[in-house]
Amino acid sequence: MSVAPITLVCLSLATLFVAALPVSLYRRLRAPFALDWRDTIAGVAIFAFFATVIERAINDYMLHGNAATAQVLSNPAFFVLYGALAAGVCEEVGRYIAMRIIARRAARKANTPADSVAFGYGIGHAGAEAWFVGVLVQLQWIVFAVLANRGDLDEHLSNLTMDSVLRVHMILGSLSPLFAGVFALERTAAFVFQIGLSVLMWRGVRAGWKGILPLAILVHALIDVPAAMYQARLAPLVVVDGLYTVAALAVAVVLFRTCRPERRVARAA
């Protein structure tokens, strides 16, 4: 089998767009929001540890390592509930810990835009997700597509089982320019949500509100429900992507109207 050149081009362009999104946004907002690179690195580190290490380890145990929980989570409803909450708890606990630590340093900084930390951290957290969940995965499929077009794919997959090889061929056969567009749309929406969650968490932490962590977990879980429903085959992709597009646009509008560089914190005493 082979992948159409137009599909390969579209997928490559979509991957480049997602890869460049966090870098371009950081450069654009660095001056007006006085972004601190340490906040962005913290966002990258928190996502890398809490989402790709802790959450994956928990999921592997719950879905595969423990027969009792695996049987319970084979029920689509329980799977959706668990999947949404697992992501919400792991990521938001990490975000909360990071922002509590950052708040001590930020309190000593004068004349800084009020949402500077939120945007700096959010770009790091969202950018890490864009790369780990999106860019690196799509680069793998681009490489597989190139190998397939050269007729070398099966040779490079010789260490996999026949079922795994067939699955790779099936996914390659499903690639299309529409798939590339959906990928870029989904990753952009996820990026907006992560910025919004970072602003929500930062404002709650800065205000000293004890209920911010459970609220952030709930909001994050609600955001992940449609994706979990799609994975459980309870909702079609077009409905899920439509919901995410509308929700991301709404969050972007709210961020644009409420997070302005001129809104600054008071000078430290």
User: What's the predicted TM-score (pTM) here?
Assistant: 0.90
* pLDDT per residue as tens, the chain (269 positions): 688 989 999 999 999 999 999 999 999 999 999 999 999 999 999 999 999 999 999 999 999 999 999 999 999 999 999 999 999 999 999 999 999 999 887 766 656 778 899 999 999 999 999 999 999 999 999 999 998 888 888 888 888 888 888 888 888 888 899 999 999 999 999 999 999 999 999 999 999 999 999 999 999 999 999 999 998 889 998 999 999 999 999 999 999 999 877 644 443 33
DSSP code string of 43-60: HHHHIIIIIIIIHHHHHH
Domain span including residue 75: 5-258
CA distances from 29 to 1, 24, 115, 196 (A): 44, 9, 11, 15
In a domain, 269, yes or no: no
CA distances from 197 to 63, 66, 166, 181, 256 (A): 27, 32, 39, 24, 14
Over the stretch 131-183, which tens digit does the pLDDT of each residue have?
Answer: 999 999 999 999 999 988 888 888 888 888 888 888 888 888 888 999 999 99
- Enumerate residues 6+ apart whose C-beta is below 8 A from 74: none
Predicted confidence at residue 104, as pLDDT, reads 84
Predicted confidence at residue 265, as pLDDT, reads 46
What total number of domains does the chain contain? 1
- The percentage of residues in the chain with a pLDDT greater than 90, rounded to a whole number, is 75
In a domain, 253, yes or no: yes
In a domain, 268, yes or no: no
Predicted confidence at residue 269, as pLDDT, reads 35
The strand pairing partners of 264, in sequence order, are 113
In a domain, 265, yes or no: no
Predicted confidence at residue 107, as pLDDT, reads 64
184 vs 173: CA distance, rounded Å: 19
